[in-house]
Structure 1
Amino acid sequence: MMMQLTETPNQKNSLFNAMNRFIGAVNNMDQTVMVPSLLRDVPLDEESEMSSLKSDEDEGDMYSYYQLLKSIRRDIEWGVRCAAADERCKEGMKITRTNSSASTSSSASMSSASSEEDEEEDEDLAKQFQYHLTGLQEVLSKLTQQANCLTKRYKQEIGIGGWGQ
């Protein structure tokens, strides 16, 4: 059985499709950029979508964005790695463990009067999920645009800007 390649209107805004569009754009970028080192020292176009990725830590050239987009694709495809040396990741794990053990001990001591709280917590979880899902879809959409923009800029830099448009 062949997989359906067209999106229905309801599927257009799905997280799965947003991730696929981003991964497809980065794969296209990766296949187009044959010599990534040519992107070094190529400044960002400050008026373009690419400038929204800029932070104080970034070098601000197209090569650093190319590497960042590929890294995000790898994280989506393989999951975020938690290196032992990454203190932020360890801190996040400690907070999660503390919160889960605190909620376990408090739920054991107050099990009789918690049905309303459980409903509120479930509603909060649903709201949190919707909030983060919407944010993730927006970020993936912007990253997809940036991957497409980088691909287009690379083509312009090497003189094939009119091809494939």
Structure 2
Amino acid sequence: MMQITDSYNQKKSLFNAMNRFIGAVNNMDQTVMVPSLLRDVPLDDCAELRELRRAAADNAAPAYFRDGDMYSSYVLLKSIRNDIEWGVLQGEKPGGTGGTGVELEEEDDLEKQFHFHLSGLHAVLSKLTRKANTLTNRYKEEIGIRGCGN
């Protein structure tokens, strides 16, 4: 028998966050029938998109996430979805200095690092999911289906 706390914890799981994000991007992809209509449509016409943009600027996100039109966000969200579904190419380790003392320190702190990155990934996926949902609603507004945020 499942307890209430199990249900709450499942909602907060990384697996569910990834599924929500992938679902939101799939919905966006199915809704946006003509992606070229998104070109030159500014992101900040909707309050939620302005908030996401402000949060991205505060976190020193790359320019393609902070600025641009809805088309660049559409392409970015689809790219991230593909990376989650298909994986990313493994490059060199960041900061590859090769110092064994640093590597031993990092191994001692693996659990702390894991929780830090898990929390960060969950937060980013939540923001990206909101961004995909908002972009979908904004597209619907642009083509006259319904108002922003509905």
User: Would the TM-score normalized by the shorter structure come out above 0.5?
Assistant: yes
SS in structure 2 at match of 1:81? coil
* Residues 56 and 10 of structure 1: CA distance in aligned 2, closer, same or farther (over 3 Å): closer
In 1: Cα distance, 2:24 partner to 2:144 partner: 20
SS in structure 1 at match of 2:43? coil
Q: Could you tell me how far 1:33 is from its partner in structure 2?
A: 0.2
2:28 paired with 1:43 = no
Q: Could you tell me how far 1:94 is from its partner in structure 2?
A: 7.8
Deviations 1:2-54 (A, max 9, x none): xxxxx822200000000000000000000000000000000111642342457
2:87 paired with 1:79 = yes
Give the counterpart of 1:147 among 105, 111, 132.
Answer: 132
* Residues 15 and 56 of structure 1: CA distance in aligned 2, closer, same or farther (over 3 Å): closer
Q: Kindly provide the amino acid, as one letter, of the partner of residue 61 in structure 1.
A: D
Count of matched residue positions in the alignment of Structure 1 and Structure 2: 133
Partner of 2:9: 10
Question: What is the TM-score of this pair, normalised by structure 1?
Answer: 0.69
Structure 2, unpaired ranges of 5+: 1-5
Give the counterpart of 2:76 among 68, 73, 94.
Answer: 68
Q: Kindly provide the amino acid, as one letter, of the partner of residue 96 in structure 2.
A: I
Give the counterpart of 2:122 among 129, 137, 140.
Answer: 137
In 2: Cα distance, 1:57 partner to 1:121 partner: 33
Deviations 1:53-98 (A, max 9, x none): 576643610000000000000010111135xxxxxx44x37828x2
Q: Kindly provide the amino acid, as one letter, of the partner of residue 28 in structure 1.
A: N
